[in-house]
Amino acid sequence: MPSNDKSLKMDYQIKPFCEKDAEKLYSLIDKVIAECYQTVYNKEILNYFLSYNQPHQILSDARTGKTLLVYYNNKIIASGTILNSNIRRVFVFPEFQKNGIGALIMAELEKAAKQQNLNFVELYAMMPAIGFYKKLGYEALKTCYCMSQDNTPVPFERMAKIINSAIKLTTWNLNGIKFKVISNNGPYIEVNTDTTFCFVQNGNLVAGEYSGGLIQEGELIGYINHNNFYFSYQQTNVWGEQNSGRGCDTIEFTNDGRLRLTDHWEWETKNGKGLYIMEEQSI
């Protein structure tokens, strides 16, 4: 077992994921969840977390994104994945924690994001990991909840980080403001004039929720740069279908001083793009 100092730097290796490693990585995740989170979450929630890290999901994310593994004496001791702007599946074997390995993995994933010309990265943090991500400069945007199979609320934190130092602090403020869609044009539209949005903001980072019309629930996350709000979104419609995409909003004021967002959006899970306009709701 390594000591908690920097000597480990001479002994570990970072390697890209190989498909034959899927079962080994699953075993690592199973052990970390079981040992590190059992005092925080009940069994149903632990099983819920594990259900999102099955071998077939590990393989799918590695094929479409980038997964890195840390080896020590030919054993996988840590992992991390980035898929588009989303960092996920960052786990460090319990005996090797507090050696800087998690921070190393995060630095490599952020480097990969910069190589994709991304300006920000985001993640879902389990509650015990929030402090770790804050130390790395990640900002907490909102506490979210989903339901396990036995209807137990599962809390986690939505966090993000600007990784482009050229982006300056914005003066636009969307925090707590509700918007109503005025129009939407494009293929397969589900957001319509019955859909409302609400945002939370921390610095340049913004997260939002929306519902109504043909949307059962939707969420988005992104950042503001100058007069533009860049984001990714995922939504579930009233028929239970899930889709995702990306958008860029132009932020401006209406003639009566309310905020207006003009959004150029594009599906990622199907073909098509369009434009919608939403405006701040009057109190």
- Domain residues of the chain, as ranges? 6-162, 178-280
Measured in degrees and rounded to the nearest 5, phi and psi for residue 224 equal: -105, 135
Residues composing the chain: 283
| pTM flag (> 0.85) | yes
pLDDT 10s digits, 261-274 = 999 999 999 999 99
Half-sphere exposure of 153 (CA within 13 A, CB side): 6
Confidence of residue 149 (pLDDT cuts 50, 70, 90): low
Task: Report how far apart the first and last C-alpha atoms of the chain are (Å, whole number).
Answer: 60
Q: How would DSSP label each residue in 225-258? A: ETTEEEEEEEEEETTS-EEEEEEEEEEEE-TTS-
pLDDT 10s digits, 35-92 = 888 887 888 888 888 888 999 999 999 999 999 999 998 899 999 999 999 999 999 9
| Contact assessment for residue 159 and residue 142, using Cβ atoms and an 8 Å cutoff | no
Give the class (CATH, top level) of 6-162.
alpha beta
Separation of alpha carbons 209 and 201, rounded Å: 12
| Contact assessment for residue 107 and residue 142, using Cβ atoms and an 8 Å cutoff | no
| pLDDT value of position 6 | 46
Q: Which amino acid is at 191?
A: V
Who's near 110: CB < 8 A, 6+ residues apart? 121, 161, 163
Q: What is the CATH number of domain 178-280?
A: 2.40.128.30
